Amino acid sequence: MKELKETAQAANPALEPGQEINEADGEPIFHADEEEGADHEQ
Which pLDDT belongs to residue 22?
60
Which pLDDT belongs to residue 31?
61
pTM across the whole model: 0.17
Domain boundaries, the chain: 2-36
One-letter amino acid of 5: K
Sign of the four-CA dihedral 9, 5, 31, 21:
positive
Q: What is the pLDDT of residues 4-42, one digit of tens each?
A: 555 555 666 666 666 666 666 666 666 666 555 555 555
Nearest to 35 by CA among 13, 10, 18, 11: 18
Which pLDDT belongs to residue 10?
61
Three-state SS sequence of 1-24: CHHHHHHHHHHCCCCCCCCEECCC
